[in-house]
Amino acid sequence: MSKTLFQKICDREIPGTIVYEDDQVVAFRDINPAAPTHVLIVPRKPIARIGEAAPEDQAVLGHLLLKAAEVARQLGLHGGYRLVFNNGPDAGEAVPHLHCHILGGRRLAWPPG
């Protein structure tokens, strides 16, 4: 199976503006931002999407959410932010590698789409 775009960013095979990383997750700026602050946080482990996560992925998914909140704080999103997971093409998923969008830096509208 070939590497996803996000795996290549995590492995430094292609450039990305990384704002956080550890042994389980990598967070980097979105190349097509939908808000003044738009960062993606992805697990290093290739999981196609949240709907395909397995019970053994529970720890990395919990870690990803906790680190998303930490990254949001580090980015100064103290007035609020949105976390978004897209699951499948009908939801707008463009890369089949589980990722969480961290959006903020302006007042966000509801409903989102």
| pTM for this entry | 0.94
Task: Look at residue 1 in the predicted model and tell me its pLDDT.
Answer: 63
| CA atoms of 69 and 83, how far apart (whole Å) | 9
Task: Look at residue 111 in the predicted model and tell me its pLDDT.
Answer: 86
Catalytic residues, by residue number, are 99
Q: What sign results for the dihedral spanned by CA atoms 63, 65, 67, 70?
A: negative
Task: Look at residue 113 in the predicted model and tell me its pLDDT.
Answer: 62
Q: Which of the residues in the chain have pLDDT under 70?
A: 1, 113
Fold of 5-104: HIT family, subunit A (3.30.428)
